Structure 1
Amino acid sequence: MGASWFEALRDEFEKPYFTKLKKFLAEERKKYTIYPSMENVYSWSRLTPLGSVRVVVLGQDPYHDVGQAHGLSFSVLPPTKPPGSLKNIYKQLKSEYPDFVPPTTGDLSPLATAGVLFLNASLTVRAHAAASHAGKGWEELTTAALRCLASRPAARGVVFMAWGLPAQKVITRIGVDESAHLVLRSAHTSPLSAYRGFLGNGHFRAANEWLEARHGKEGCIDWGVLSANRQWKQASVSKYFAASGPQGGVNILAD
């Protein structure tokens, strides 16, 4: 876990629920394949330090098939092609920013390093078994992480993107002060529900308009960093994830 998030959440790791969660995960790993890999469970915390967060994109469960989950909600690493939910995110970006060219890959790391926190409610899952780690304790930790952001004063307000009813319930549960923060609600990005209100929601421009009003132009998110006609001038993602496992932060899952 990245140092800034570790310091903010330190007290959580001593609570009974987290001790129970660690034991559960240790037993699961003896029997099953677990996604994402252990070194990527907290990649969200290393890519998006606490102080850099300007937008939060809430997810529910990590992808549960081979070569998908790597610790960021909605994101997959090459060579995995973008899942349907992510394709709809690209489609909405294209509708709001016509110059945006949807990429053929699904890696959202460039946005994560730009201040967009892609956080799932549950941080692990058993291979090919959706929601298999839901209700095991992760939700308490990620709720605590979100409360760190929700407790910020208005001068450091953030945008919460709550797509789908589960994400919206999280916003209600943590008690986000909507005079200090912006909450954008719509249907989920899933192909089953995107046409019920996600597509056409205008959330990406709305986020930047709010951020600019609060923080100036430098506070906006460059959503176009994902565009296929742009080059991300940083080290390759594969090298990043190989180099920034547990040694890149604090290993809180080890015994």
Structure 2
Amino acid sequence: MPTSPNRWEHSLPRALPAAWAHAAQRDMSDQLAALGKRLDEREEPIVPEPERVFRALSVDPDRVRVVIIGQDPYPNPSHASGLAFSIPRGVSPLPPSAKNIRTELHSDLGLPVGQHLDLDSWAQQGVLLLNRHLTTAAGQPAAHTDLGWSEITNWLIDRVVDASPQAVAILWGRHARRLAGRMGPLGVIESAHPSPLSAHRGFFGSQPFSRANALLSERGVSAIDWRLH
């Protein structure tokens, strides 16, 4: 089902939160409009909704303590929330990647994980949950990898490096790990993606949460409370 004419083209530049937009050059607004135009031309349902695309950016760039980079939104519309890897509370069953994150969280820190993977409490502490590509087609993983999102997220990551050089980056999966060289002074933790296709090849046992807190401590930054509140 096609989107309404110019829906994305008009909404994307306006949706960039003020704390990020003030640093954007004119060409960034033009890039967002051009990307939105390409989305408007797609004859498919798109996730997440336009108003959720930049939800991860509720964390101001100078408040980022940890940035977790994913690949693209969950293709299931009920799962895609605008926060990388997060699932809205009350949605079940959880997708396999979410289950694997919960498993590693418990294994790493011994925390009770309850029944959900709503990561709002992480975002509220300065965890930037950013996908490499911020939209996809409903039911089609990685459908928008060629639309220009990489240039946008490169710019967002550069803002984090400039504004929060003491932060730590957690890079899960091949697409995220390509960004290691872009992280400058940030502490970097890399592993396989939590997808069931790769979790047993380096995600399980990688201890990203305890390692991130150790790096934050070394940098004089308070630890993240990784509990799923």
TM-score (norm: length of structure 1): 0.78
> Is 1:59 equivalent to 2:70 in the alignment?
yes
In 2, are the aligned partners of 1:9 and 1:145 still within 8 Å (CA)?
no
* 1:139 pairs with one of 150, 168, 171: 150
> Is 1:158 equivalent to 2:167 in the alignment?
yes
Let me know the Cα RMSD of the aligned residues.
1.7
Taking the aligned partners of 1:123 and 1:199, their CA distance within structure 2 comes to: 25
In 2, are the aligned partners of 1:12 and 1:141 still within 8 Å (CA)?
no
* 2:179 pairs with one of 170, 176, 181: 170
In 1, are the aligned partners of 2:55 and 2:83 still within 8 Å (CA)?
yes
* 1:109 pairs with one of 114, 120, 125: 120
What amino acid is aligned across from residue 21 of structure 1 in structure 2?
Answer: L
Taking the aligned partners of 1:94 and 1:19, their CA distance within structure 2 comes to: 42
> Is 1:9 equivalent to 2:24 in the alignment?
yes
SS in 1 for 2:41: helix
In the TM superposition, residue 64 of structure 1 has moved relative to its aligned partner by 1.1
Taking the aligned partners of 1:76 and 1:69, their CA distance within structure 2 comes to: 7
Task: Look up the match of 2:187.
Answer: 182
In the TM superposition, residue 33 of structure 1 has moved relative to its aligned partner by 1.6
In 1, are the aligned partners of 2:104 and 2:205 still within 8 Å (CA)?
yes
* 1:37 pairs with one of 39, 49, 55: 49
Matched-pair identity in %: 35
What amino acid is aligned across from residue 72 of structure 2 in structure 1?
Answer: D
In the TM superposition, residue 188 of structure 1 has moved relative to its aligned partner by 1.2
* 2:208 pairs with one of 203, 206, 211: 203
SS in 2 for 1:151: helix
In 1, are the aligned partners of 2:61 and 2:163 still within 8 Å (CA)?
no
For these two proteins, the number of residue pairs brought into alignment is: 213
> Is 1:25 equivalent to 2:28 in the alignment?
no
Taking the aligned partners of 2:214 and 2:174, their CA distance within structure 1 comes to: 24
In 1, are the aligned partners of 2:19 and 2:60 still within 8 Å (CA)?
yes
SS in 2 for 1:39: helix
What amino acid is aligned across from residue 167 of structure 1 in structure 2?
Answer: A
What amino acid is aligned across from residue 96 of structure 2 in structure 1?
Answer: G
* 1:128 pairs with one of 125, 133, 139: 139
In the TM superposition, residue 11 of structure 1 has moved relative to its aligned partner by 3.6
Measured against aligned partners, the alpha-carbon deviations of 1:167-192 in whole angstroms (never above 9, x if no partner) come to: 111223x2x22xx2211011111112
SS in 1 for 2:67: strand
In the TM superposition, residue 152 of structure 1 has moved relative to its aligned partner by 4.6
In the TM superposition, residue 10 of structure 1 has moved relative to its aligned partner by 4.2
Task: Look up the match of 2:223.
Answer: 220
In 1, are the aligned partners of 2:87 and 2:118 still within 8 Å (CA)?
yes
In 2, are the aligned partners of 1:76 and 1:106 still within 8 Å (CA)?
yes
Task: Report which of the two has the higher share of helix.
Answer: 1
Taking the aligned partners of 1:202 and 1:182, their CA distance within structure 2 comes to: 15
Task: Look up the match of 2:4.
Answer: none
What amino acid is aligned across from residue 126 of structure 2 in structure 1?
Answer: G
TM-score (norm: length of structure 2): 0.86
In the TM superposition, residue 211 of structure 1 has moved relative to its aligned partner by 0.7
Taking the aligned partners of 1:195 and 1:205, their CA distance within structure 2 comes to: 19
Taking the aligned partners of 1:25 and 1:136, their CA distance within structure 2 comes to: 8
SS in 2 for 1:96: helix
Where do 5+ consecutive residues of structure 2 fail to align? Answer: 1-15
